[in-house]
Amino acid sequence: MLIEVRRGTGRATARQCQVPKELLDEWVLAEGGTYRLRAGQAVTEAEVHGQRGLTARGPVIQIGRDCFDELHLPWDITLHLRREQPGQLAVGPVVGVFVNDRYLAAIHEGAPPTSATELVKANRLAHTLVYWFSAHHVQLLDRTVQGTIFSPGEGRWLRTVLPLGEVLYDRGVNFTDDEKPVVQYLRRQALGSPAMRLVNSRDYFDKWWTHQALAAYDEVKPYLPATLRYRSVSDLLALLDRTGVVYLKSFYGSGGSQVMVVERQGDQSVCMYGRDATRRVVEDESRLAAVVDAFFAGRKVVAQEGVDLLQYRGRRMDMRILVNKDGRGVWEALYNQVRLARPGQRITNVRLGAEVHDFPPLVAAAAGCSPERAAEIDQRMRQVSVLVARHLEKTYGPMGEIGMDLALDRDLRIWFLEANAKPDKDPEPVEGVREVYPQFLYVLEYGKFLAGFHEA
């Protein structure tokens, strides 16, 4: 139930908890009995009493000042209240958003990332205790965090001691070498903790492992381009002879920075394209290995069949579909956006200059089909994305959000290209003007579901 959590001020009631009298009766709580109170992973004990808790704004729970402070609640706040077991009540959920130090620095320098401000907006509807933290701000033994939180009352961001959350939303990327050991340790602790629920149980998808896992399912296999692990130039040439175009990708790369496109030109020569779209012709195939090795600098690489992408006015396109779980733990495709590559560019990535467009009108124009047909294709691509998400969970464990890269070829066949565990979620103009974007609200609603605070 939604309830206003207030800090008591009286010395005599410092270890008491006042709850609505109606709730005391409904949950069969003993008047004056001692109960455990939990917020995130912080726990205390209080003597519970019933009171007339209905106000003009709704029910109120007043927690004595000592207990309130031991729960590390920042201020009076509207949260959810639940009875977890006969002797314990919980307020929450507490959602910790894990980021790097540079992300936090941007917040405190007055330039908070859009993902932070949009999550704050979404929380006006979700009513969680949500904060941001990095690897250096966690005290596992005390179960506390030096968290960064937005204060609605003061209209500014603050850093304060908060309870370690029961829900972890891992958005941490691009850590420095100094941060990585601590980050890895914290992630291992979170995965092994029965008190912690993870929005995503993986912080990345290995492209080769992902392909192998999905290829084992007959219902997914038709959507997968031919893919193999690159070990030598003979692997590349074998796939190139079969498909004509091959995309080489590092196992863990993102943003189009570790992608090379290779295609046949005549009998012997090969054209190679990197992220800058520069065309390089390699006449001697024996030199391919040296070029590829230099480009990927020892990284593990997969070779993927190059799909003959649908084009609009000579520009290639693919699609980013964001799938999220809702407040019931059910997958839903929230949006399907076209990424239209720059003229001459073979890599369709926004960081490389691709434009984002709404799916139906652009695909209808590119395919020469009716708006109704484009809408049908859109719906089918969303269904495929949800299908892939369900099967990815069988390999990687429970997930809450995934960015799916899909494509259409010139015959309008659907292809799955890759999945992203930490997709870009910034609102695009094609989404229209909204007060709260669903890609942010869904994460918090799913966090409530994980923590058991969802409505029945």
Quick check: 248 and 296 in contact, CB under 8 A? yes
Residues of the chain with CATH 3.30.470.20: 308-421
Looking at domain 95-198, its CATH architecture is 3-Layer(aba) Sandwich (3.40)
Euclidean distance between CA atoms 121 and 297, whole angstroms: 42
Residues of the chain with CATH 2.40.40.20: 2-92
pTM: 0.92
Tens of pLDDT along the chain (456 residues) come to 999 999 998 888 899 999 999 899 899 999 999 999 999 999 999 999 998 755 556 889 999 999 999 999 999 999 999 999 889 999 999 999 999 999 999 999 999 999 999 999 999 999 999 999 999 899 999 999 999 999 999 999 999 999 999 999 999 988 888 888 999 999 989 988 999 999 998 888 999 999 999 999 999 999 999 999 999 999 999 999 899 899 999 988 776 678 889 988 776 667 766 666 667 788 777 788 888 888 888 899 999 999 999 999 999 999 999 999 999 999 999 999 999 998 888 888 887 788 999 999 999 999 999 999 999 999 999 999 999 999 999 989 999 999 999 999 999 999 999 999 999 887 654 445 468 899 999 999 999 999 999 875
Instruction: Work out the number of other CB atoms within 10 angstroms of the CB of residue 344.
Output: 12
Q: What is the DSSP letter of 76?
A: S
Euclidean distance between CA atoms 117 and 135, whole angstroms: 21
Q: Across the strands, what pairs with 20?
A: 51
Closest CA to 333 of 407, 296, 263, 386: 386
**CATH for 308-421?**
3.30.470.20
Instruction: Give the SS3 label for residue 176.
Output: coil
Looking at domain 226-305, its CATH architecture is 2-Layer Sandwich (3.30)
Which 3-state string (H, E, C) describes 271-339?
EEECCCCCEEEECCHHHHHHHHHHHHCCCCEEEEECCCECEECCEEEEEEEEEEECCCCCEEEEEEEEE
DSSP assignment of 365-421: HHHT--HHHHHHHHHHHHHHHHHHHHHHHHHH---SEEEEEEEEBTT--EEEEEEES
Tokens of 193: 């903790």
Quick check: 436 and 121 in contact, CB under 8 A? yes
Q: Is the peptide bond before 222 cis (omega within 30 degrees of 0)?
A: no
Quick check: 4 and 76 in contact, CB under 8 A? yes
| 57 membership: H or E segment, kind and range | none
Question: Residue 231 — φ and ψ, nearest 5°?
Answer: -120, -30
**CATH for 2-92?**
2.40.40.20
Helix, strand and coil in the chain, % to nearest 5: 30, 35, 35
Residues of the chain with CATH 3.40.50.20: 95-198
Residues of the chain with CATH 3.30.1490: 226-305
Quick check: 2 and 80 in contact, CB under 8 A? yes
